[in-house]
Amino acid sequence: MANKYTVYFSFLFLLLLTLTRCTPSSGPEVPENEYQVTISKSDMRMLHVEAILNVAEKELSMDWPAANSVEKGWAHFVENLEVHDLDGDLVPTEYQDKATWKLETNTDRVRVSYDLHVTHDEIDWIEGGHSASAYLVEHTLYLIGAALFIATPTEIMIGAGPPTTVRFDLPEGFKVVTPWSNSELEPDAFMVQSTYELVRSALLIGVIEFQELNVQGMEIDIATAPDFKEAIPLFQSIYTEIVPAAQAYFGDVKKAKYVVIANKAPRTEAFEPYFSGEALHQSMSIISPIVPTEEFMPMFWYILTHEYIHIWNGITIQFADEEESAWFLEGFTDYIAWDLLHRLGEITDEVMLNGNEIAGFNFGWNENIKKYLAVAGKISLREAGAAKQDNYDLIYSGGALFALILDIKMNDATNGKVGLKTFMRALNKQYGNAGARLLSYADIKELAFDLSGVHVDTLFEDYVNGKSIIPVGEYLEKAGLKMENMGTPDQKIILDPQATEKQGMVLHAVCGIGGKVE
């Protein structure tokens, strides 16, 4: 059961945006898949889906990521599945492992119908929280595509799978918010470019509060249930600052539609309400135990910033092995988010160094050090991604701490000319373009060396690939920082009054104390 204010930031599968690369199709043109989703106002938990699908491989699938909370995965919520050929004859189906169905047919195109019973929020969802699955709040239904759509088996990578049209039959007064393109010919119909987009997108359906914001060429659509609408002005103010700051950090302006869905956490007997954030295809979703108040402002700044940065780290830049890269995807994203908030003046120097408890969750470098040291040495950072929730502190805090020491090491070696921002910009330039290959662990090490001239192989092999524990004090010293009361409840990071000019330069280059985003 999730604790009341547990924060889940699932990247998992977060790889998305058509403003990123797509794999071009080859071979004969494949007809579009088509779906019609019918929703009743009297029972929004029961959806009916009709589809016409290509089934060249004679299989249907719901084997999409992030559904290990139930034995059959996403298929657990499917009822009354029937398949017919286009002549109306019944096609026998046999359920296989991993949420797939085998079809006994010679045809390559079939009609599929099924009901989806939305009870995901009655289960303590372990992978990313309910922002990564589905829930109902009054007359507003949230789903990710993976929770809704049966399709043909497809590797979940950008551009994979045929184009699709999705139509909705809605009660009067209901609407749909999603990052997909609206059809110019039909109301409540959307054009989806691939199966990847279909299952890795967020949808909000029903009675919705909506506001569009344009920041530096990016359209940000903010959608909530009515009882969360008071958060919309806050989100607008956050994105007005975060969008230009993040684009400046990565040296890359994104011009696309980006949907932000936010609601109160669902309330059932299965778990207590909590914070959760999920980055998806051109969209993100968060849930919160309450509508934002002054007390929780830093939490929302942090969540929205973290998820927005995933547009680059994990979306534009994609990885050959997602599990083994979780330390980089989540830890480095956390480190960058914290850095941007500090440079924007949303957190003070002291809070950045030593944290500030918000709703039971503590932020800051010192807190990362505490959490990392409490779990380090048992498995490597690379291995930790195989069980992300079990190794949350190692992935997030350990990954963020490694980002810090890499930032310090590169700035120390180059007299402040090369640091993590330079490194992330170079990654984005080399691996964030259309057609770029997937990023590997070896690529990360090689680029860090190429940029800084520092032999970082031992650093990575000891503290990322291996189980050695990062000597925190040694690296903090290079940036003119010291640990007080190490290993005690009073542990604290302080400025070294005896720091040299170079140490001060490294500190400023790393964390920009007193500076603003350039």
- The answer to the question of residue 22 being in a domain is no
Report the pLDDT averaged over residues 459-467.
97
Q: What pLDDT, on the 0 to 100 scale, is given for residue 275?
A: 80
Same domain as 167, residue 41: yes
- When pLDDT is cut at 50, 70 and 90, the band that residue 404 belongs to is very high
- The answer to the question of residue 277 being in a domain is no
Q: How many residues does the chain have?
A: 518
Q: Which of 172, 207, 242 is the last residue of a domain?
A: 207
Residue 33: name the closest of 201, 177, 195, 182 by CA. 195
- Say whether pTM exceeds 0.75: yes
Q: What pLDDT, on the 0 to 100 scale, is given for residue 361?
A: 57
Q: What pLDDT, on the 0 to 100 scale, is given for residue 364?
A: 86
Q: Which of 157, 189, 207 is the last residue of a domain?
A: 207
- When pLDDT is cut at 50, 70 and 90, the band that residue 155 belongs to is low
Helices and strands in the chain, H and E counts:
16, 24
Q: Which of 187, 207, 227 is the last residue of a domain?
A: 207
pLDDT in tens, 6-47: 444 443 333 333 333 444 444 456 678 999 999 999 999 999
Residue 280: name the closest of 222, 224, 223, 197 by CA. 197
- When pLDDT is cut at 50, 70 and 90, the band that residue 474 belongs to is very high
Report the pLDDT averaged over residues 318-343.
93
pLDDT in tens, 254-307: 888 999 999 988 766 656 667 888 888 899 999 888 888 777 788 889 999 999
Same domain as 503, residue 359: yes
Q: Cβ contacts of residue 461 below 8 Å, gap of 6+?
A: none
Residue 445 has pLDDT above 90, yes or no: yes
The token pair that represents 231 in the structure block: 């958060």
Same domain as 182, residue 330: no
pLDDT in tens, 52-109: 999 989 999 999 877 777 889 999 999 999 999 999 999 999 999 889 999 999 999 9
User: In this predicted model, which residue has the larger pLDDT, 292 or 369?
Assistant: 369
Q: What pLDDT, on the 0 to 100 scale, is given for residue 476?
A: 96
Residue 19: name the closest of 167, 161, 143, 181 by CA. 181
Same domain as 322, residue 203: no
- The answer to the question of residue 265 being in a domain is no
> In the chain, how many domains are there?
2
Residue 127 has pLDDT above 70, yes or no: no
Q: What pLDDT, on the 0 to 100 scale, is given for residue 21?
A: 40
Q: What pLDDT, on the 0 to 100 scale, is given for residue 435?
A: 65
Domain of residue 96: give its range. Answer: 33-207
Residue 249: name the closest of 301, 329, 308, 297 by CA. 308
- Residue 4 φ/ψ, nearest 5 degrees: -55, -40
- The answer to the question of residue 23 being in a domain is no
Q: What percent of the chain has pLDDT over 70?
A: 88
Mean pLDDT of the chain: 88
The token pair that represents 495 in the structure block: 């400025």
Q: Find the CATH number of the domain harbouring 174.
A: 2.60.40.3650
- When pLDDT is cut at 50, 70 and 90, the band that residue 434 belongs to is low
Q: Identify the weakest region by mean pLDDT among 40-54, 393-407, 456-470, 503-517.
A: 503-517
Indicate the helix (H) or strand (E) that contains 490.
none
- At 275, the amino acid letter reads F
- The answer to the question of residue 274 being in a domain is no
SS (H, E, C) 107-120: CCEEEEEEEEECCH
Q: What's the rounded Cα separation, in Å, for the pair 178 and 25?
A: 24
- The answer to the question of residue 442 being in a domain is yes
Residue 514 has pLDDT above 60, yes or no: no
pLDDT in tens, 180-213: 999 888 889 999 998 889 999 999 999 999 999 9
Q: What pLDDT, on the 0 to 100 scale, is given for residue 254?
A: 83
Q: What's the rounded Cα separation, in Å, for the pair 252 and 246?
A: 8
Q: What pLDDT, on the 0 to 100 scale, is given for residue 15?
A: 34
